Amino acid sequence: MPGNVAALAGLIGRCPAMERLKRDLVLFGPSDERVHVFGETGTGKEVVAKAVHALSARAGRAMVAVNVAGLSDELLISELFGHARGAFTGAVSDHEGYVARAEGSTLFVDEVGDMSPLAQVRLLRFLEDGEYQRLGDTAVRRANVRVVSATSVDLERRVREGRFRRDLWFRLKGERLDLPPLRERGDDVLLLARHFLHRQAAERGGAPPALGREAEAALLGHSWPGNVRELQYEMRCAGVRATGRPVAVEDLSPELRERPTGRAGPLREAVRRFEAELIQDALERHHGNVARAATELGITRQALWARTRRPALVAQGA
């Protein structure tokens, strides 16, 4: 159990989806099965891959990671499998690829859905029998490597569209692990925010600032299109601004301060008024019991509290 705790330390969160992910990691991490991680950009797919590796018998060797997005066929095949001297212009010496470096360990292939048809064929061959050839070399080599792949796109859809090989997808998806977007993780937003503030303070040798209530409400109310990566950046900036005091809403970026602009304002305000009425009715039915009202509305107590700080509800005295 202590080993599991250490391996999962980077996965901050208590929402049901994250708890399910941790349970699956404990089951499949040690199995040596191939794993595919699906999640939007910025959700932390490499963190999950590192946990898979840390839970495996291969943890004694460093995981090797490669992001294949945007690489040409020649460069991608060279980076993955290596190349021989003279294989192409500029190849002045032999080069071992990521597969050779990952011998006996784990190879994390990120954004595998962006691979070209030719690169897909080369990866498929390696997954089928563990054999590969360096670019410009006829010698067949073997490698003992566990492959963990990841995408921010739905590979099953790409298979149906004919943009990704079905047989390669079957080889990759020994077990699929889904990372939820931050907007669906509820109070995990605050757990992660405090984690980033503490980590930043540790790096600088100071005390971490607390989160003010209005700042908490703003964090809970944001949709986080950039997911955990966006939150991490937000907390780094806010931590600098809030040196010596709690983080206030003024320390956050403009996107989090909820200042409606333009023609969308009337619609946004109408939605807020409707939401305020629903919350007010629920609170009245439960005689001000926030926990019961939140349960009825299908949100957390913290999210309900955040919504009661909005002007439409404050005006009603909620």
Mean pLDDT in residue range 115-138: 90
Q: What are the tokens at 267?
A: 């619609």
Confidence check: pLDDT of 311 > 70:
no
Q: What is the pLDDT of residues 277-307, one digit of tens each?
A: 778 777 877 777 777 777 777 676 666 666 6
* More confidently predicted of 261 and 61: 61
Q: How confident is the model at residue 270 (pLDDT cuts 50, 70, 90)?
A: low
pLDDT recorded at residue 92: 66
Mean pLDDT in residue range 93-118: 92
pLDDT recorded at residue 94: 82
Q: How confident is the model at residue 6 (pLDDT cuts 50, 70, 90)?
A: confident
User: Comparing C-alpha atoms, which of 256, 190, 252 is closest to residue 223?
Assistant: 256
Count other Cβ atoms within 10 Å, centred on residue 193: 23
| Alpha-carbon span 181 to 89, nearest angstrom | 43
Confidence check: pLDDT of 31 > 70:
yes
pLDDT recorded at residue 130: 93
Q: 263-318 has which fold? A: Arc Repressor Mutant, subunit A (1.10.10)
pLDDT recorded at residue 273: 67
pLDDT recorded at residue 309: 56
Detail the DSSP E strand segments found in 68-224: 106-110, 131-132, 141-142, 146-151, 175-178
Q: How many CA atoms lie within 13 A of 108 on its CB side?
A: 22
Cβ proximity of 146 and 105 under 8 Å: yes
pLDDT recorded at residue 71: 82
Type and span of the H or E element at 67: strand 64-67
> Which CATH number applies to 182-259?
1.10.8.60
Q: What are the domain boundaries of the chain?
A: 2-180, 182-259, 263-318
Cβ proximity of 124 and 168 under 8 Å: yes
Confidence check: pLDDT of 315 > 80:
no
Confidence check: pLDDT of 134 > 90:
no
**Architecture per CATH, 2-180:** 3-Layer(aba) Sandwich (3.40)
Count other Cβ atoms within 10 Å, centred on residue 314: 11
Cβ proximity of 290 and 283 under 8 Å: yes
